Amino acid sequence: MYDIKALYEAESVQHAVSLLQEHPEAQIIAGGSDVLVQIREGKCAGKELVSIYMIDEMRGISYEEDGAIRIGSLTSFSHITKDPIIQQNINVLGEAVDMVGGPQIRNIGTIGGNTCNGVTSADSASTLHAWDAIIEITGSEGVRRIPIHDFYIKAGAVDLKPGELQTAIIIPKESYDGYHGHYIKYAMRNAMDIATTGCSVNVKLSEDKKIIEDVRIAYGVAGPVPMRAPSAEEKIKGKLVSKDTVKEFAQAALEDINPRDSWRASKAFRQHIAVVLAERALRESIRLAGGEIDE
């Protein structure tokens, strides 16, 4: 059923790094919800695998000393959705990963695997982009941290050098403190489907809830990798909360995205959906932040 050359079980992060150096052609496997499917399809037949699934130090969610939220790369989607730190600060991430596959996939699938695939349709990716996530990578030369938008190189490729593995995802305190967000996934089915387009928005309002102090928007399947829409963000910073501001924001997103035609949807349809999702996601984010939009 599975054509695997060898399986090596890492006992720690440093052990995993050593195994990856000893076996440079090996592929990392965590939950296996993607890798085993690829092997079964013959895409990675005969591969050596380095399993990191038993490395407990890469699991869990906690605060760092500066208030940043640290999400271990082996943390499952189900754990993220139920975690009190996530629910209190970035509940939208829990909502986003709760749209991945079905319960079995969410119990075994990991946030690290979801991002390391490098696919633009990953439900966690657009939300993490909208929260200015930082990716922690560990290798033989130590630990490095890079912004998530630099982590994605091209479709299906991320910035992991030989002998490296992703160990955590960091959400800086200044990126979540005072912000409220919403994620919308548009797909042909309500469950067990890949996003046709995904849109994540978060907003920070003034104390009186009348002014948009800051806003971030990110898309999945609007380009070869998950991406922000900076034109839309800059268009409405400092503006009054209003229906005109919301519409201006949604239209401006078209200046940055570049979706493709595929059997799932045409480019024109994805552009149309991107505008609709941006408006709906911003409206809900404003509501969650305590603002009201006069109609």
**What are the pLDDT digits (tens) for 49-92?**
999 999 999 999 999 999 999 999 999 999 999 999 999 999 99
pTM for the full model? Answer: 0.93
Residues ≥6 apart with Cβ < 8 Å to 237:
212, 213, 214, 215
| Lookup: tokens for 140 | 């033989």
**What are the pLDDT digits (tens) for 160-216?**
999 999 999 999 999 999 999 999 998 776 666 677 889 999 999 999 999 999 999
> What are the CA-CA distances from residue 153 to residues 39, 76, 161 (Å)?
24, 24, 12
| Arithmetic mean of pLDDT, 215-230 | 93
**What are the pLDDT digits (tens) for 273-292?**
999 999 999 999 999 999 99
Please return the burial class of 198, using the count of CB atoms within 10 Å of its CB with bins 0-12, 13-18 and 19+: buried
Please return the burial class of 294, using the count of CB atoms within 10 Å of its CB with bins 0-12, 13-18 and 19+: exposed
pLDDT at position 207, please?
96
| Arithmetic mean of pLDDT, 254-266 | 86
Q: Which residue has the tokens 């052609």?
A: 25
**Comparing C-alpha atoms, which of 112, 289, 157 is closest to residue 216?**
289
Residue 229: band (very low, low, confident or very high) from pLDDT cuts 50, 70, 90: very high
pLDDT at position 192, please?
61
- State the Cα–Cα distance between residues 227 and 176, nearest whole angstrom: 18
Q: Note whether 170 and 263 are within 8 A (CB).
A: no
Helices (H), the chain: 13-22, 35-40, 77-82, 84-89, 91-97, 103-108, 111-116, 123-130, 148-151, 173-176, 230-236, 243-252, 267-288
pLDDT at position 193, please?
64
Percent of the chain with pLDDT over 90: 70
